[in-house]
Chains A and B, each alone.
Chain A
Amino acid sequence: MAVTDTSPAAAGSARRRQTLVTGWLLLALSLFVAFVFALPVEGNASFRLAFPGDAFTVSNLVVPAAPYAWVVAAVLAFFGVRQFLPGAARWSGLLLGIGLLLVVTAFLTWATAGKSFSLTGMLQATIVRAVPIALGGLAGVLSERVAVVNIAIEGMLLAGAFTGAVVGSLLGGPGGLIAAVLVGGAFGLLLAALVVTYRVDQIIAGVAINLLVLGLTSYVSSQVLTQYRSLNNAPVFKAINIPYLSDLPVIGPVLFQHNIFVYGALIMVAIATYYLFYTASGLRARAVGEHPEAADTLGINVYRLRYINVTLGGMAAGFGGAWFTLGSVGRFDENMTNGRGFIGLAAMIFGRWHPVGALMAALVFGFADSLQQKLAILRTPIPAEFLAMAPYIATIVLVAGLVGRARMPAADGKPYIKE
């Protein structure tokens, strides 16, 4: 990474500049909301909160669109001006986050004005679509914490999706899921072997694994699966309603009426957080990522920990990959992950190399994903392609803006050669 000046004075001036930029950004957003979302709009936005047939019925949330947008614009202007007053630096990140959230809500009321829209349905889709991204991000966290850059997440997801479909067709859902996890782990092991034992450049190894998996799955898919269609017809895991909790209004359908992949992703994020930050072996793993020489001096087996963590990451990605087939459509299509692994990589960076952070970032991407899908129904004048671009542009902006603050593991990307 670029050399950064770490002296307090330089850090202070960089922070001041960042605060000022945040201030101008918030003011610009305020004007944008006022002129685009508030001025030309009239009518009420009606958000449906309950599905037909729910145990408890909740009345629709009706928001008058124009007044709401004016309120948002005013709050944004206040946040923006606040950035130029003394003592602003402490709150600038938080206020920017709240500001962006408000812009999204204003956008939603603008798009829904005069119509009605199922908010609960969109939030439910958000959680579902966040699953592969969160697990991809988790795979990234696990391997980057031991200083192995994992560009191969995309390939591992694709391998999991393919294995889930084929083995799932033969042995049923659970067998397919286990096989997907194992194959994901196998590609993790391959990445570890290439970068640790054979000292291949980590990014080259990742790119090569992505191309290899894409080639292998597409080849077998067009060579074998088109002839034997029964091999590509896996059962899909059904939703499990958590007793009592799933009957709650809004929260029930959003959080507690999902299939095994959503619950599994949440459990895995919890386990990974506990492992990395509350166990001795997690501490060792992080030491390997920060300073492998020191870890080695203390008797930690650097190579073995890298192998273990990268393989575990591959298994998480394999589980996430199985979501594409066993968790949603039941059949494999060529390149069906479609860049979701790279989004997982971005989620890891947003989440500052922390499993919970990666999950939160994945929820943001999942929200963008489901928003894009649902907005097609509302017929907004914004082209769908631009909405699809939004998360990628946001990633670039945040990667450019965050580097000063979020710190990657110090040894990230560097091979370790034992003396």
Chain B
Amino acid sequence: MSEARNPDTVSAQLLRRAAPARADFEDLVIVPVLAVIAALALGALIMLATGVSLPTIGRSFAALFIGSVGSLNAVSETLTSAAPLTLAGLGIALGFRAGLFNIGAEGQVIVGGLAAAIVGFSFSGLPAAIHLPLALAAGALVGALWAAIAGWLRASTGAHEVITTIMLNLIAVKLLDYMLRMPWVQREGRADPISKSVLPSAELPRLFDWIDPTLRVHAGIAVVLLAVLFVWWLLFRSTVGFEFRAAGLNPDAARYAGMRSGLIIVLVMALAGALAGLAGANQLLGVLGRASPNFSGGVGFDAIAVALLGRSHPVGVLLAGLLFGALQAGGRQMQVSAGVSLDLIAIIQALIIIFIAAPILMRAVFSFAFHKPTGR
């Protein structure tokens, strides 16, 4: 399936050869911007179709805007929602770069978050300077091991990573359900599946609670920025990253050049899993404080959209993560103040992926925004 990964089309390739800067600009800026606009417009149509009145639609979009960037608290909410999306999105982007489709971020987020929670409540008496990094590292390590299973199976038997990561997702959900009922994990005196609370020494500290105690943005955003820098350095400044990209662009050529394709696959999956596990740890230690069923809330699937929207570039993923974080934060505000269900945001996100992945469609619909395609 490796040859089919390149979503570029013949016309786009010709255009790129003819006018590289212009094609890059169209691909990197115009297509995503138009995709977001088209998805929002279709979202409005869907609201209209389900009997939401025009003034309410107006109020929803206003709420979407105010709830995402309209106030200090809104910005804090956007950053808080963006952090796990960006981390998991970076992992998926790394996979894309190496030609691997890692649908398993959701499962990796779950096991990573669970591991971070267990470390977070198990070791009392540690100073925060040791406990917090330990909990984060546990999340990253367990996520990496979980994803490496799929990588190892792909490398050794050829089992396709799409199937194995989907199965690992489903297994992770059941594993979480099981672990949350273990007596050493479950909170004392509770019959429902919920874990003990993370100790304060393992919590990601809130950054701006001295301004307003309701600001939830936490030190996890520093982890996110470090991860963006690390992935950028890895992909574009290191030998290993060069091998990743070479394996993704042309696996046969990479193998003939002496790169060990099996090792690359396992390594990429492990790194992707580490980033997704870090996303789970980030969410548990910074926001939730304890594990419960469905605590991941589909972050791993939204992260696929983030990686696609960000064109698998670390900086692009960061921007896409911020956009999706803004959509989620704004969506919550929309649900509260306009009474429109948060699920609308899921629709808009799915439409954004479809439009981004189909540049031909965007060029056909919004032909005015693009340079006339050369060739056919």
Contacts and interface: CB of A to CB of B under 8 A. Distances in A.
B361 A198 contact: yes
B353 interface: yes
Contact of B159 (A383, A403, A413): A403
**Contact residues on B (Cβ < 8 Å of other chain), bracket:** 35 or more
A219 B341 contact: yes
Given A204-B308, A223-B341, A414 B46 contact: no
A208 B103 CA distance: 12
B350 A403 contact: no
B5 interface: yes
Given A219-B347, A342-B166, A201 B354 contact: no
Nearest to A345: B163
A400 B156 CA distance: 9
B157 A403 contact: yes
Contacts of B7: 199-201, 204
Given A199-B360, A208-B357, A220-B50, A393 B171 contact: yes
Given A224-B50, A346-B167, A383 B178 contact: yes
Contacts of B170: 339, 342, 389, 392
B162 A208 contact: no
B346 interface: yes
A389 B301 contact: no
B164 interface: yes
Contacts, number: 156
A85 interface: no
A12 interface: no
A194 interface: yes
Interface in A226-254: none
A408 to B, nearest CB: 9
B157 to A, nearest CB: 4
Interface in B36-72: 46, 50-52
B159 A396 contact: yes
A395 B101 CA distance: 18
A4 B157 CA distance: 10
Contacts of B171: 389, 392-393
A25 to B, nearest CB: 15
Interface string B1-22: 1011101011000000000000
B153 interface: yes
Interface in A351-389: 383, 385-386, 388-389
B358 interface: yes
A412 interface: yes
Contacts of B158: 1-2, 4, 403-404
A204 B346 CA distance: 16
A385 B157 contact: no
B226 interface: no
A151 to B, nearest CB: 7
Contacts of A88: none
Contacts of A413: 1, 4
Contacts of B101: 203
Contacts of B9: 199
B234 interface: no
A386 B358 contact: no
A223 B353 contact: no
B346 A214 contact: yes
B346 A400 contact: no
Contacts of B115: none
Contacts of A339: 170
B344 A215 contact: yes
Contacts of B168: 392, 396
A215 B361 contact: no
Interface of B: 1, 3-5, 7, 9-10, 46, 50-52, 101, 103, 153-154, 156-160, 162-164, 166-168, 170-171, 174-175, 177-178, 181, 252, 301, 304-305, 308, 340-341, 343-351, 353-354, 357-358, 360-361
Given A1-B158, A208-B354, 13 more contacts: A4-B158, A200-B358, A201-B7, A212-B350, A215-B347, A219-B346, A221-B343, A222-B343, A224-B51, A345-B163, A386-B178, A395-B167, A400-B153
8 A-B pairs closest in CB distance: A215-B346, A2-B158, A212-B350, A215-B347, A219-B343, A385-B178, A211-B350, A413-B1
